[in-house]
Amino acid sequence: MKTVFDTDDPTSEISTARAVDGSLLEGVPGVIEIRQQHPRKLVVVAENAGEATPKIFQALTRQGVAVTSSSEYRPSFAEVFTELLDQHNGTTEHR
């Protein structure tokens, strides 16, 4: 399963004008994983970011949430290291 920590495919970091519940995107076609980094910031893993991004924007807009920025997200070395340790120790929760 593809996750935020796969480095071969970029994921999207989306910032919004107001707080948003990431679960709003659970039904968007192509969205695999959503991580809520902050009330106004989401990291979204999709099968194809180019196809999913407009659908994500539409889903947020329908809920009255304006997108202020969207960019490629690459996890830091520390995030990847922590995820690998968690996987090794069996403590990772797949979201």
- Express each pLDDT in 32-85 by its tens digit: 889 898 999 999 988 888 889 999 999 999 999 999 999 887 777 787 788 788
Round to whole Å and give the CA distance between 46 and 49.
5
**Torsion over CA of 53, 56, 60 and 63, rounded to 10 degrees?**
150
Place of tokens 């099968």: 47
pLDDT grade, residue 94 (50/70/90)? Answer: very low
- Tokens found for residue 18: 């107001």
25: three-class secondary structure by DSSP: helix
Task: Give me the amino acid identity at 63.
Answer: Q
Q: What is the pTM of this model?
A: 0.70
**Has residue 95 got a pLDDT over 50?**
no
Rounded to whole angstroms, the Cα distance separating 10 from 6 reads: 8
